[in-house]
């Protein structure tokens, strides 16, 4: 079992622990800070002990199959009373290699408006879906995708003038009901930022994340979410900082020294930073220790708080809170196609950037359970 696979299990468990803490905070009616300040509190001590244990186990030792975090929960178990429980659609959204047929997709999406929101990987998922439907409409790219009217009852060669105008005028909800067709939209969002207005600067001007030096790409999507029946969300793992790419095979990770910059950057929630302070990380190779710890920390201090904030905002929005919301899985990077290694790295099982990505990315296996536990967007079918 590779190091990245073991660390992804740690991240999964940390997310589960964090979810429990959020539920405790909600039930007792107190803020995260007040719980952390009471260091003698049995709940906090237990959480710290669990984090210490699972981190040491996952990074320093082999984990048995029985101790792994198993996701594999079918989408249908979270969506009672809806025809979106198709096994084919479940396989598609979970990244399974099996591709559903056009008829299966159209049956599952009948009369529905579906919105995909996420990074380029989500855009490719939406493109794959269109390809499986043999959809002939053009998509102008992730930044300018408008909509796709799919599963129409007539053949493409018989399209009417009104049908061709769908590129400008989307079908109404009544049109979808009358024809049994569907509409798919995609909105590009690096961080799932859901601003209050499309006039915010982040939607109009090029933006760079000061923590990573990487370009952020955001489009206004909250209005589309209000018109959708189903919303499919995803956020990719935090990218490695731009300055790590120094032209060498090993990269420049010096800024991750001294307890890792994420701990003292002030960018995350105090609750997560305090929980992670002092957690021992013992990697099989000392050169990986700071990268592993940085990936774990950035997940809990930046990635998770940001996503939870977005989900809380969606839950509080009157036009969105009753929608069906799914989180689609991501993909781990393949080390075989990563940057070419130098002689000094040939003995490592994975290059630093792939390791940094995969330690974070493995945690997406637990997101369905986490979303249901905290937000209850979709209740488990009894």
Per-residue model confidence as pLDDT tens digits over 265-312: 444 444 444 444 444 444 555 567 677 777 877 877 788 788 888 888
Q: How many Cβ atoms sit within 10 Å of the Cβ of residue 34?
A: 11
For the chain, give every domain's residue range.
3-69+237-305+324-375, 97-233
In whole angstroms, give the CA distance from residue 280 to residue 292. Answer: 11
Helix (H, G, I), strand (E, B) or coil at 20: helix
Are 123 and 142 in contact by the 8 Å Cβ rule? The answer is: yes
Cα separation, 121 vs 236, in Å, equals 8
The β-bridge partners of 324 are 230
Name the E strands within 29-120.
113-118
Q: Which residues of the chain have pLDDT under 70?
A: 1-100, 134-137, 154-168, 255-287, 289, 334-350, 361-382
pLDDT for the residue numbered 260: 47
Mean pLDDT of the chain: 65
* Distance separating alpha carbons of residues 269 and 264, to the nearest angstrom: 11
DSSP class per residue in 240-302: PPGGG-SSSSS---GGG-SS-HHHHSS-S-HHHHHHHTT-----SSHHHHHHHHHHHHHIIII
- Give every CB contact of residue 293 below 8 A, 6+ residues apart in sequence: 256, 260, 279, 281
Structure confidence at residue 285 (pLDDT):
57
pLDDT for the residue numbered 25: 38
| Predicted local distance difference test score (pLDDT) of residue 334 | 61
Q: Which pLDDT belongs to residue 276?
A: 46
The predicted structure's pLDDT at residue 73: 30
Record the pTM.
0.68
- Tokens describing residue 160: 């009417």
pLDDT of residue 354: 83
With beta carbons less than 8 A apart as the criterion, state whether 151 and 180 touch. yes
CA dist list (Å): 156 to 137, 149, 238:
10, 11, 41
Please give the helix or strand (H or E) that residue 41 lies within, else none: none
Query: Which tens digits make up the pLDDT trace of 6-55?
Result: 555 555 555 554 444 443 333 333 333 322 333 334 433 443 343 344 33
């Amino acid at each position: 079992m590779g190091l990245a696979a073991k660390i992804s299990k740690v991240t999964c468990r940390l997310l589960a622990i964090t979810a429990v803490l959020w539920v405790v905070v909600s039930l007792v009616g107190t803020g995260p800070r007040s719980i952390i300040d009471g260091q003698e509190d049995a709940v906090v001590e237990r959480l710290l002990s669990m984090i210490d244990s699972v981190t040491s186990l996952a990074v320093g030792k082999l984990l048995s199959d029985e101790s792994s975090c198993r996701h594999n929960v079918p989408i249908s178990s979270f969506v009672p009373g809806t025809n979106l429980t198709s096994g084919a659609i479940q396989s598609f959204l979970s990244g399974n290699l099996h591709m559903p047929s056009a008829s299966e997709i159209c049956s599952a999406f009948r009369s529905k408006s579906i919105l995909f929101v996420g990074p380029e990987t989500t855009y490719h998922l939406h493109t794959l879906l269109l390809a499986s439907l043999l959809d002939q409409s053009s998509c102008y790219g992730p930044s300018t995708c408008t909509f796709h009217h799919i599963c129409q009852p007539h053949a493409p060669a018989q399209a009417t003038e009104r049908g061709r105008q769908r590129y400008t005028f989307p079908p109404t909800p009544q049109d979808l009901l009358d024809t049994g067709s569907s509409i798919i939209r995609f909105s590009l969002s690096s961080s799932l930022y859901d601003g209050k207005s499309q006039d915010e600067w982040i939607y109009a001007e090029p933006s760079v994340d000061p923590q990573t030096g990487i370009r952020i790409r955001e489009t206004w999507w909250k209005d589309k979410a209000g018109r959708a029946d189903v919303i499919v969300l995803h956020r990719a793992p935090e990218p490695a900082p731009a300055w790590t790419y120094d032209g060498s095979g090993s990269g420049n990770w010096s800024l991750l020294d001294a307890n890792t910059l994420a701990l003292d950057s002030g960018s995350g929630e105090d609750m997560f930073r305090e929980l992670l302070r002092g957690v021992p990380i013992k990697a099989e190779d000392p050169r990986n220790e700071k990268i592993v710890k940085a990936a774990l920390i950035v997940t809990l201090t930046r990635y998770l708080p940001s996503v939870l904030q977005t989900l809380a905002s969606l839950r509080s929005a009157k036009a969105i809170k009753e929608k069906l919301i799914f989180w689609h899985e991501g993909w781990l990077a393949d080390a075989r196609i990563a940057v070419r290694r130098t002689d000094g790295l040939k003995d490592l099982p994975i290059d630093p950037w792939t390791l940094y990505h995969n330690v974070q990315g493995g945690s997406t296996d637990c997101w369905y359970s986490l979303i249901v536990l905290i937000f209850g967007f979709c209740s488990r079918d009894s």
